[in-house]
Structure 1
Amino acid sequence: MDSARSAILITYPEPESIEEATALADAAGYKVWKIVTQKNITRSRFGIGHGKALEVQEIVRISNPDIIIFDEVLKPSQQYNIASLCRIEVMDRERLILDIFERRAITKESTIQVKLAELRYETIRIRDKVRLAKLGEQPGFFGLGKYDADIYSLDISKRISYLKKKLEKEKIKREMHRLHREKSGLPTVSIAGYTSAGKTTLFNRLTGETKRTGEGMFTTLSTYTRSFKINRNMKFLLSDTIGFINKLPPYMIDAFRSTLNEMTYSDLTLLVIDGSDSLNVIDKKIQSSTKVMNDLMIPLTKILYLFNKADQIEDHDLFVKTLTKSQVFDPLSCHFLLISSKTGYNIGRLENFLRLRFNPQ
């Protein structure tokens, strides 16, 4: 076995599900040693079928991994059952994402937001976890000891209230920065989109910055704003924002709302999608991203869809034709552009779009 934290990953059989779940595990610091797939997850007492659970138990016995990761949300009872069967720690998808957030948080605001999301994750599970922790066989299984559910719930409520107050102070600071930017009179543009689509690479390409890229999912958790010029005389403010992901729960979006709200004040949002994916995956990612945009009430007229990684697409004309078959994206009613943040392909056309958008003379 590798010295790194090893994991058995339980996910859906679709290639895109396996790829995304593996990337999430990697971003959280786990090396996936074995992948087990199941068409329906979370419908049984083990989160997977009884036969599949016994299969996982045998894999654990032979390979002795550090953890089992489920690519789905588990009830505390399901988590307890599979963990008791396999005698090993079990983590679900939401806890995995929170672990990544915790590793990526570098600003005071993002650290508070992550802690708030973690407490809301716990809030949903309090009573079941306390009940299971008192079963006797493994009373400290969830690290709760003999806590009473009401006491534990009150403690979490107090901590949430405290963090909300701290977050409000950070929100005031953010608002002051935003007002200062508004006074500059410069057009504001936000970069948004599915995580790992190349948003930060695009940000670096346009601004000349050297923000870290290629380090897995959710490299950016807090808004980062810099200015950039087109043709040496037209100046913009550009913000890199947190990435979206499939099945991101409402409480996580709510915890990061002050960061996401930066887009609502932008004059334009560049919604970056990985164009090298299959049409089916592109549809899913557009759907996930557009849902967040709709929740933030950002109109279609303020969105430019950028299909990135054109350097990995063999036939660009065929790609555009394929887009017309999309179930969730209508090329005729949306502004879109095929680009490559890596090679600079069509970046000139993007800059020209921005120039005409904000200075049409």
Structure 2
Amino acid sequence: MNSAILITYDKEDAINEAKGLCDAAGYQVVHTITQKFLKRPKYGISGGILERLEELSERLRPDVIVFDEILKPSQNYNLASILHREILDRETLILEIFERRASSAESKLQVKLAQLRYEMARAKEKVRLSSMGEQPGFMGIGKFEVDVYYNDIKHRMQTIRSKLEKAGKQRELHRKGRKRMGFNTISLAGYTSAGKTTLFNKMTGETRDENKELFTTLSTTTRRITIKQEPFLISDTVGFISKLPAYMIDAFKSTLEELAHTDVVIVVVDISDSLFDLKKKFASCMRTLSELGVEGNKLAFALNKMDLSKSNEIMNKIEILNLSGKNNWVLVSAKTGENIDKLKEMAANIIENYSLTNPKNM
């Protein structure tokens, strides 16, 4: 495993998530520097912290330095010039994880598209900086002129987009086929690591890979299940994360748009999270679902990991999430299987109610 020095925010949830991202990308964090503010113009951090980082970098000799914020190319260049190490910002780190996790042809294309979008946004600045001298892991673009470099990225993006478009059309045909055969569809969504894949396995009898790492699932898997003697198709989708840039969501559009077309979306929530984490992750999920055009009356909430929580704490959290008094949530444990049948029934009821109130859409 490669080593990394991590620079992140001075908050427990930020530290845990950043360490989780490093771990998922294959980096062992050998030292963590925490700061209240990571957006200073020249280096992202203050000169005093940079000196400390320089000394640490010399002593610990990490493979990379991970900066848990989005860096401008000039900031990345300035840091690499002084530290003589490869600098990975939050976006590059997530892209590395996506690259490691992509297994299907479509998810590999989606990751490539996201990487090119990242490159394109920085192309002009990178070419300007490359003439000032190369830095570790920073350039690798030779003596490209701006336009040549920019157009090359553009052309590669167009090629990938047309391939993804074909995959999207294929997906649409599958959707229409499922509808004709009378299948109702359920999708699992939620913050990465909420336990979606474990829940998927419990609901379907599958044995998909499940672990605590972030982004275990990048490509959608669909299986058939039976609820109330009726056939349903259930899908697992890519996990959401805070501060996930719009272009990354856009790159995974053909996978994520399934959520807008599905009959019910089960949002998996880790109810054992601290109050702060719970609110942040819930808001992040709801924002992403709204951006994808998922209708509110198609949502069901699986409040997972009930086995790790006290009942009075759970009720308080349900109140805070504004779910009390509503009938579209159920407490479950994907680990023990508790209330899984209740969850399936609730999903079937939501579909039934939706079809009664929106007959044209079904």
Contact 1:134 1:145 in 2 (8 A): no
Distance 1:183 1:216, change over 3 A: same
Alpha-carbon shift at residue 359 of structure 1 (Å):
5.5
Q: What is the one-letter code of the residue matched to 2:295?
A: P
Q: Secondary structure at the match of 2:5?
A: strand
What is the CA–CA distance in structure 2 between the aligned matches of 1:121 and 1:359, rounded to whole Å? 42
1:357 alignment counterpart: 350
1:47 alignment counterpart: 44
- TM-score, normalised to structure 1, is 0.94
Structure 2 residue corresponding to 1:32, chosen from 18, 29, 34? 29
Alpha-carbon shift at residue 160 of structure 1 (Å):
0.6
What's the Cα RMSD here?
1.8
Q: What is the one-letter code of the residue matched to 1:293?
A: L
What is the CA–CA distance in structure 2 between the aligned matches of 1:316 and 1:174, rounded to whole Å? 42
1:289 alignment counterpart: 285
What is the CA–CA distance in structure 2 between the aligned matches of 1:16 and 1:225, rounded to whole Å? 32
Superposed, which structure 2 residues align to 1:293-312 within 5 Å?
293-312=289-308
Q: Secondary structure at the match of 2:320?
A: coil
What is the CA–CA distance in structure 2 between the aligned matches of 1:247 and 1:182, rounded to whole Å? 35
Structure 1 residue corresponding to 2:86, chosen from 89, 95, 114? 89
1:347 alignment counterpart: 340
Contact 2:298 2:351 in 1 (8 A): no
Superposed, which structure 2 residues align to 1:203-352 within 5 Å?
203-214=200-211, 216-230=213-227, 233-313=229-309, 315-326=310-321, 329-332=322-325, 335-352=328-345
2:112 alignment counterpart: 115
2:164 alignment counterpart: 167
What is the CA–CA distance in structure 1 between the aligned matches of 2:241 and 2:33, rounded to whole Å? 22
Q: What is the one-letter code of the residue matched to 1:195?
A: T
Q: Secondary structure at the match of 1:280?
A: helix
Structure 1 residue corresponding to 2:148, chosen from 143, 146, 151? 151
What is the CA–CA distance in structure 1 between the aligned matches of 2:327 and 2:116, rounded to whole Å? 39
* Residue-pair matches, total: 354
What is the CA–CA distance in structure 1 between the aligned matches of 2:97 and 2:234, rounded to whole Å? 25
What is the CA–CA distance in structure 2 between the aligned matches of 1:157 and 1:334, rounded to whole Å? 48
What is the CA–CA distance in structure 2 between the aligned matches of 1:139 and 1:268, rounded to whole Å? 48
Alpha-carbon shift at residue 251 of structure 1 (Å):
0.4
Contact 1:133 1:140 in 2 (8 A): no
Contact 1:323 1:331 in 2 (8 A): yes
Alpha-carbon shift at residue 139 of structure 1 (Å):
10
Q: What is the one-letter code of the residue matched to 1:345?
A: E
Report % sequence identity. 47
**Structure 2 segments unaligned to the other structure (5+ residues):** 357-362
Q: What is the one-letter code of the residue matched to 2:255?
A: T
What is the CA–CA distance in structure 2 between the aligned matches of 1:51 and 1:359, rounded to whole Å? 61
**Structure 1 segments unaligned to the other structure (5+ residues):** none
- TM-score, normalised to structure 2, is 0.94
What is the CA–CA distance in structure 2 between the aligned matches of 1:139 and 1:296, rounded to whole Å? 38
What is the CA–CA distance in structure 2 between the aligned matches of 1:115 and 1:216, rounded to whole Å? 21
Deviates more, 1:212-221 or 1:27-36: 212-221
**C-alpha deviations, 1:231-257, integer Å up to 9, x for none?**
5x2221101011100001010011111
Structure 1 residue corresponding to 2:95, chosen from 95, 98, 108? 98
Q: What is the one-letter code of the residue matched to 2:43?
A: F
Distance 1:60 1:317, change over 3 A: same
Alpha-carbon shift at residue 14 of structure 1 (Å):
0.6
2:360 alignment counterpart: none
What is the CA–CA distance in structure 2 between the aligned matches of 1:119 and 1:62, rounded to whole Å? 35
**C-alpha deviations, 1:110-136, integer Å up to 9, x for none?**
111110000000011111111111103
Q: What is the one-letter code of the residue matched to 1:350?
A: L
Structure 2 residue corresponding to 1:190, chosen from 187, 190, 199? 187
Deviates more, 1:160-169 or 1:130-139: 130-139
**C-alpha deviations, 1:252-305, integer Å up to 9, x for none?**
011111111101111100001111111111110011100111011212111011
Q: What is the one-letter code of the residue matched to 1:250?
A: A
What is the CA–CA distance in structure 2 between the aligned matches of 1:334 and 1:240, rounded to whole Å? 23
